[in-house]
Amino acid sequence: MAIMRLRREDPRVVGSFKLHRRLGAGGMGVVYLGSDRRGQRVALKVIRPDLAEDEEFRIRFAREVSAARRIRGGCTARLVAADLDAARPWFATQYVPGPSLHDKVHDGGPLPASQVAAVGAALSEGLVAVHEAGVVHRDLKPSNILLSPKGPRIIDFGIAWATGSSTLTHVGTAVGSPGFLAPEQVRGVAVTPATDVFALGATLAYAATGDSPFGQGSSEIMLYRVVHEEAQLQGVPAALAPIVHACLAKDPEERPTTLQLSLRLKEIAAREARAVPESRLPPAPARSAAEPTVRARQSTAGRSSQRTGSGQEVRRTGAASATRRPRPQSGAGGARRSGSRPRTGPGRTGSGSSRRTVPPDRRLLRQRLFVFVTVTLLMALGIALAQGCESEVRGAAPAERVSSEHVSSGGSSGTDASSASR
């Protein structure tokens, strides 16, 4: 949705909302981007001045507000405020960031099957809530679907039909968008929830192909094709073609319900998301340690060879070896000179077939770990010994001082005793 600056004739304040930008204009009026005093952003629709005096358009506008109030759920923009008695009636809904489905396909091309199915499943689930409220949208099309970060949202209930209201459609006229209208709308008969199912099928076909299933042309030509010709679904992915074809059935009774659509499209979206073609997967990054591993496996394969009587080596069980080692082996790495002898030793055999080869990187890791643990233990032991020796030295020094003092005192007392005896 393109955001434009306000024009000179545009209001700056409507109700308690300050207007910032234009979001778009339609047959009923202009939609603005506004905000309230708390900073909450809203999409505010104002009826055009030339239509504000038309009683039929006021009724149609009041119907849109009534439909927005009746619907519960996250499929539509929440109604914030409205004033139907103003000189230019208006109402504000929660602002939904994101492009419309029409702009998304027009700018970026058709959507993949998994994304089309996911959008269709969310829209079907949203239409369940709309129809449970007794409302039929009657103008579901790509430009009335916004792709928000939280999922698609249905907007513009301006020509919605609610239970107990008149159609506001004159004889011989059709209200809606050619190419997305159902045959019963063109004929002027009563609309039902199946009417929105037909429009949803045409919308999914557009999302998958970038064009209406009834082609292009004047309104009269498009309406004739909708009633009398079959939809063109050649570009629709095979996974989606049957369900889209069922939605575009001429007889409303033959179309699936919105609940059936939601469940079926969820299954298709999950299946298509898992079925990613191999060609679209990114190539595996090359590892620098792959070369030593291959050389080690080739050496092991060379040691498993046996020499024949003529001095030539014969590789045993080549097929089994290839099964265990899917990587290609170089001839230079697998060949051994006739004079060399197979390595033997404790736990090893000359053929090497029963020996489990440890890749060099793991063996090096184990060696480093062993050295690290050994050095750590030795350092801890050395520190403990040093602390023990230091404590012994500190404990021995006072003892030596006490002994020397005792000896000196004993000597002096002995001298006194001898002098006294004399």
Q: What pLDDT shows up at residue 340? A: 44
Does residue 142 share a domain with residue 56?
no
Q: What pLDDT shows up at residue 63? A: 78
Q: What is the CATH number of the domain that holds 5?
A: 3.30.200.20
CB 265 within 8 A of CB 121: yes
Does residue 231 share a domain with residue 220?
yes
Q: What pLDDT shows up at residue 75? A: 82
Does residue 103 share a domain with residue 78?
no
Was 45 annotated as part of a binding site? yes
On whether residue 372 sits in a domain, the answer given is no
320, burial (CB in 10 Å: exposed 0-12, middle 13-18, buried 19+) = exposed
On whether residue 249 sits in a domain, the answer given is yes
Q: Whole-model pTM?
A: 0.61
Does residue 261 share a domain with residue 112?
yes
Q: What is the DSSP string of 84-98?
A: TTSSS-EEEEE---S
On whether residue 197 sits in a domain, the answer given is yes
Q: What pLDDT shows up at residue 55? A: 85
* CA-based nearest residue to 87, from 11, 187, 166, 176: 11
Radius of gyration of the chain from Cα atoms? 43
Q: What pLDDT shows up at residue 62? A: 81
On whether residue 296 sits in a domain, the answer given is no
Does residue 109 share a domain with residue 75?
no
Query: Pseudo-torsion of CA 7, 9, 10, 12, nearest 10°?
Result: 100
On whether residue 270 sits in a domain, the answer given is yes
On whether residue 333 sits in a domain, the answer given is no
Q: What pLDDT shows up at residue 15? A: 93
DSSP class of 30: E
Q: What is the DSSP string of 346-363?
A: TT--SS-SSSPPPPHHHH
Q: What pLDDT shows up at residue 128? A: 92
Mind listing the pLDDT tens digit of every residue in the chain (422 residues)? 567 899 998 999 999 999 999 998 877 789 999 999 999 999 999 988 888 888 887 887 787 788 778 887 778 888 899 998 899 999 898 899 999 999 999 999 999 999 999 999 999 999 998 998 888 888 899 999 999 999 999 988 765 555 444 434 333 344 567 889 999 999 999 899 999 999 999 999 999 999 999 999 999 999 999 999 999 999 999 999 999 999 999 999 999 999 999 999 999 999 998 875 544 545 444 444 444 444 444 544 444 444 444 344 334 444 444 444 444 444 444 444 444 444 444 444 444 444 455 455 677 888 888 888 898 988 888 888 888 777 666 665 555 554 555 444 444 444 444 444 44
Does residue 252 share a domain with residue 129?
yes
Domain span at residue 118 reads: 97-274
Q: What pLDDT shows up at residue 387? A: 83
Does residue 63 share a domain with residue 141?
no
Tokens matching residue 176? 């809606």
- Spatial distance between the Cα atoms of 62 and 85, rounded to a whole number of angstroms: 10
On whether residue 269 sits in a domain, the answer given is yes
Q: Which of 32, 66, 95 is the last residue of a domain?
A: 95
Q: Which of 274, 300, 315 is the last residue of a domain?
A: 274
On whether residue 200 sits in a domain, the answer given is yes
Q: What pLDDT shows up at residue 312? A: 42
* CA-based nearest residue to 34, from 51, 55, 16, 48: 16
Does residue 45 share a domain with residue 9?
yes
Residues 6+ apart with CB under 8 A from 123: 75, 140, 145, 152, 154, 200, 203
Q: What is the CATH number of the domain that holds 257?
A: 1.10.510.10
Beta bridge partners of 19: 34
Does residue 270 share a domain with residue 240?
yes
Inter-CA distances, 352 with 93, 340, 347, Å: 77, 15, 10
Q: What pLDDT shows up at residue 226? A: 95
Does residue 82 share a domain with residue 121?
no
Q: Which of 274, 302, 327 is the last residue of a domain?
A: 274
Active site residues: 139
Does residue 136 share a domain with residue 108?
yes
Does residue 73 share a domain with residue 101?
no
What domain count does the chain have? Answer: 2
